[in-house]
Structure 1
């Protein structure tokens, strides 16, 4: 008997969700103090490649350490279109890498500056070990707005 219902969309993995937004936040510690740093990311062969400014030295603090990385669609989701809000977080070991030309191209144009100094890219590869995803389903009729 035919059904008028459309098939449910295939589930998307948390790592695939990262491909829907360009930036996230890297968390680790440096000199025994925690820090968060913004990073551009791409997904390549199940691993996450990050591009960040080398002038801060954050990439060196992360090299060989377990880091946390998170990204979300909080600023990109459209309640008008019924998009759910989601966030993805993962932990895993990081290492400094040099992306191949194809990977470097996926990052797109780099920022011109970081904190007023010329942007100098550094790249990390993170192998996600523990991955979590959280969603907030508002439904198509519930608008997400900031209170005045």
Structure 2
């Protein structure tokens, strides 16, 4: 990855720990949460193996997106962004040092013990979207009737 947009996307991705993986399983779309790190320009994901999503993604094209929407709105930030990476994914086994970069693992997923599975996404398409609000303009207030 080398374009300015790709470098910006990697920088933004490093600002949040989790994102959403999207693909299809048995011809139906699905979306799941994953923890990410970047190694050698590729996005490496950690997810729970018990759901089988990593098997559905292995060898297929997936999309992975992350944003700062929740963090920005709770912190009062006026600059929102989202990034998306699309490309082929394959299951991998990270080195112990790479595993440490992910940080602590969740204890459970849906009541069962968390067992990690790892995917490497080789981004072929990268997009960055930003929402900048003019601080001098007031946004309309929403009211409940």
TM-score, with structure 1 as normaliser = 0.84
Distance 1:79 1:39 in 2: 21
Q: 2:122 aligns with which of 116, 127, 147?
A: 127
TM-score, with structure 2 as normaliser = 0.85
Deviation at 1:100, TM superposition (A): 1.0
Q: 2:83 aligns with which of 85, 88, 91?
A: 88
Does the Cα contact within 8 Å between 1:80 and 1:140 map onto a contact in 2? no
2:49 maps to 54
Cα pair distance change 1:114/1:147, threshold 3 Å: farther
Superposition RMSD in Å: 2.6
Larger Rg: 1
SS at match of 1:77: helix
Cα pair distance change 1:68/1:80, threshold 3 Å: closer
2:107 corresponds to 1:112: yes
SS at match of 2:71: coil
1:35 maps to 30
Does the Cα contact within 8 Å between 1:82 and 1:139 map onto a contact in 2? no
Give the stretch that moved more between structures: 30-39 or 72-81: 72-81
| Runs of at least 5 residues in structure 2 that lack an aligned partner in the other structure | none
User: CA offsets per residue over residues 19-44 of structure 1, 9 Å max, x none?
Assistant: 00000000001111110010000111
How many residues are paired up? 139
Distance 1:47 1:143 in 2: 40
Distance 1:80 1:116 in 2: 31
Cα pair distance change 1:75/1:100, threshold 3 Å: same
| Runs of at least 5 residues in structure 1 that lack an aligned partner in the other structure | 1-9
